[in-house]
Amino acid sequence: MSQAVTRSTTGPATAAGPGLLASLDPLLREWLPRQRWFAGKGRPVTGFSLVAATELLPLEGKLGLYHLLVRAHQPLAPVPGAGVEDGIPHPGDCYQLLIGVREALPPRLAPALIGHVHDGPLAGRTVYEALYDPRPAEVILEALRTQARIGGLRFVRRDEIRPDLVPRLMTAEQSNSSVVYGDTFILKLLRRVVPGTNPDLELPLALAREGCPRVPPPTAWVTAEAAETGAEEPYVLAVLQPFVQGATDGWELALRELAKGEDFSAEARALGRATAEVHTALARALPTVTLGHLQLQSLVEGMTARLEAAAQAVPALRPYAPALHSAYEALADLAAEGHTWTAQRVHGDLHLGQCLRAPAGDWSLIDFEGEPARPLAERRMAQPAVRDVAGMLRSFDYAAHSAGGPPALEWAAACRAAYCTGYAEAGGNDPRTDPVLLRACETDKAVYEVVYEARHRPDWLAVPLSAIRRLAGPGPA
Ligand SMILES: Nc1ncnc2c1ncn2[C@@H]1O[C@H](COP(=O)(O)OP(=O)(O)O)[C@@H](O)[C@H]1O
Ligand SMILES: O=P(O)(O)O[C@H]1O[C@H](CO)[C@@H](O[C@H]2O[C@H](CO)[C@@H](O)[C@H](O)[C@H]2O)[C@H](O)[C@H]1O
């Protein structure tokens, strides 16, 4: 692993050294695991190593600013897709940090505090999560606007960016961190980063080339060059895109309508159409493949392995596992009979919260990263488009269980039907004509959700478990 301490080519000279991380180490051990976006919850952090450090503002000023890529050592790996120790040695995940350094924090930045440094080059200073502070956020936007190269960081711009946009950090619960600039742009700073093409940049760029208006096109992005990090490929670190002004996300909207006892099927149908339009554009933009017997076998093996790992991690799932396996076996049987399916690039983690409705009524889809816990190569594989449909169908069910009171099952059924109708109207294959594949994909998604909730929101575990019971069907469980 490289201990790159980078030297700026067009930015300020760097004063960061390996001592920097050593002095931050005790503070990060305490602070990092508390962050919503920390992926290694439940496993101890035993240390850190520096992948790259870049000074963005020199320490001599009132405000110092460091960009760090830091590997958090957690010697045991998560069970694939489950996040629970199983003893497999693991080098640890790499996180992107933007660290502000001041003599003292003004009260408005109190929530951003990481801690007070006692040793090393930052001794006596206060370090904090710099995205809370407008000045560092402006530094990033200015670097994008001017296409700067600072150390190993490359700021790449595709479209014009107006100067002087005022930043504000989004405070929503997120897997990453986002800053909105003057209601014009939104910057997503990825937190757990891996080298290689990131689908959250790759797919919106491909859709922009296709002229698909359903996805905000990337305006600019940040990468860390491979030479600076010791990786084989650059890391994609952040993506700037147009901000959909006044938008409401589908989750919020669905809950609002549910609370009023209102039907949501017209919106669900429009969402189905939007999804089909995105799928059609993705199938035009990027290669599609036919899944024959062998490929189907490996798809089924993946689903089976995820179910097994999930049942190991979440005991409540165990009684249903045999019945759930039958959904995958039915798919394998169809494949053995010679059925084939088309696979293409998909969103990968589609749910109501990833759909934004502009005030004029148009729906946009965002966040093409895929399921965050899966390896990058898996997230970039061509898959049956029904995977995304299954994600949305699950989401209507989630909403029906989350509005308070008895689950609004009829409401969800109407949304699910309308969504499939809209999907077929806009040129997608009606998912209801392929019930075996749909059931397998819905099962796989519900299994993922069981693990996700057990890990992040145990209070919500009952929601996917109720779907698990439905999907398992009547039987000994
Ligand atoms: N282009 C956009 N316009 C308006 N709001 C957006 C846009 N992109 C994202 N958001 C808001 O930011 C939130 C987080 O974005 P998302 O890409 O889902 O990040 P994460 O991967 O961290 O979950 C979304 O739920 C949405 O509210
Ligand atoms: O939006 P993210 O990329 O962070 O996705 C993760 O978190 C989601 C929750 O915020 C989670 O979605 C699940 O809960 C939603 C309601 O909060 C529901 O609409 C989805 O259908 C359900 O899957 C998602 O699975 C996870 O990857």
Structure confidence at residue 475 as a pLDDT band (50, 70, 90): low
178 Cβ inside 6 Å of ligand 1:
yes
How many helices (H) and strands (E) in the chain? 13, 21
Cα dihedral 329/334/337/340 (nearest 10): -130
Cα(427) to centroid(ligand 2), Å:
26
pLDDT at 213: 96
Give the span between the Cα atoms of 122 and 21, in whole angstroms: 10
394 Cβ inside 6 Å of ligand 2:
yes
Structure confidence at residue 20 as a pLDDT band (50, 70, 90): confident
367: left (phi over 0), alpha (psi -120 to 50) or beta: left
Q: Look at the chain and count its residues.
A: 477
- Whether the pLDDT of residue 90 is over 90: the answer is no
> If you take atom 19 of ligand 2, which residue's CA is the nearest one?
395
pLDDT in tens, 170-183: 988 788 999 999 99
pLDDT at 13: 34
Do 73 and 47 meet the contact criterion of CB atoms below 8 Å apart?
yes
pLDDT in tens, 235-268: 999 999 999 999 999 999 999 999 999 999 999 9
SS3 302: helix
Beta bridge partners of 343: 289
pLDDT at 83: 43
Looking at residue 195, the DSSP 8-state letter turns out to be: B
Cα(50) to centroid(ligand 2), Å:
31
Give the span between the Cα atoms of 445 and 348, in whole angstroms: 10
> If you take atom 7 of ligand 1, which residue's CA is the nearest one?
243
Cα(102) to centroid(ligand 2), Å:
36
Cα(58) to centroid(ligand 2), Å:
39
> If you take atom 12 of ligand 2, which residue's CA is the nearest one?
351
CATH 3.90.1200.10 range(s) for the chain read 248-472
Q: How far is CA 64 from CA 125, 272, 323, in A?
A: 10, 48, 57
> If you take atom 9 of ligand 1, which residue's CA is the nearest one?
366
Place of tokens 């976006």: 37
192 Cβ inside 6 Å of ligand 1:
no
Cα(366) to centroid(ligand 1), Å:
7
Ligand that lies nearest to the alpha carbon of residue 358, given by its number in the listed order: 1
pLDDT in tens, 127-145: 999 999 999 999 999 999 9
Cα(255) to centroid(ligand 2), Å:
14
200 Cβ inside 6 Å of ligand 2:
no
444 Cβ inside 6 Å of ligand 2:
no
Cβ burial, residue 82 (10 Å; 0-12/13-18/19+): buried
> If you take atom 25 of ligand 2, which residue's CA is the nearest one?
449
* Amino acid at position 390, single letter: A
415 Cβ inside 6 Å of ligand 1:
no
Place of tokens 């001794």: 123
SS3 233: coil
- Whether the pLDDT of residue 60 is over 90: the answer is no
pLDDT in tens, 204-236: 999 999 999 999 999 999 999 999 999 999 999
Structure confidence at residue 89 as a pLDDT band (50, 70, 90): low
Ligand 2 pocket test: which of 41, 351, 416 has the largest number of ligand atoms within 8 Å of its C-beta? 351
Q: pTM above the 0.90 mark?
A: yes
Six token digits for residue 386? 């029904």
Average pLDDT of the residues of the chain: 91
Q: Pick the residue with more confidence: 334 or 79?
A: 334
Give the span between the Cα atoms of 477 and 255, in whole angstroms: 31
SS3 14: coil
Ligand that lies nearest to the alpha carbon of residue 350, given by its number in the listed order: 2
Q: Which atom of ligand 1 is nearest to the CA of 243?
A: 3
> If you take atom 2 of ligand 2, which residue's CA is the nearest one?
175
**Complex ipTM tops 0.95:** yes
Sign of CA dihedral 428, 432, 434, 436: positive
81 Cβ inside 6 Å of ligand 2:
no
Beta bridge partners of 193: 94
- Whether the pLDDT of residue 16 is over 90: the answer is no
Containing 52, the helix (H) or strand (E) segment is: strand 47-57
Give the span between the Cα atoms of 210 and 242, in whole angstroms: 17
37 Cβ inside 6 Å of ligand 2:
no
Q: Reply yes or no on domain 248-472 having CATH 1.10.10.10.
A: no
pLDDT at 82: 43
pLDDT at 87: 54
Cα(430) to centroid(ligand 2), Å:
24
Containing 30, the helix (H) or strand (E) segment is: helix 18-31
pLDDT in tens, 392-401: 999 999 999 9
> If you take atom 13 of ligand 2, which residue's CA is the nearest one?
449
Cα(444) to centroid(ligand 1), Å:
25
pLDDT at 456: 82
Give the span between the Cα atoms of 138 and 164, in whole angstroms: 8
Give the span between the Cα atoms of 166 and 250, in whole angstroms: 27
Q: Pick the residue with more confidence: 188 or 89?
A: 188
13 Cβ inside 6 Å of ligand 1:
no
Structure confidence at residue 59 as a pLDDT band (50, 70, 90): confident
Place of tokens 């919503």: 36
Do 69 and 52 meet the contact criterion of CB atoms below 8 Å apart?
yes
- Whether the pLDDT of residue 88 is over 90: the answer is no
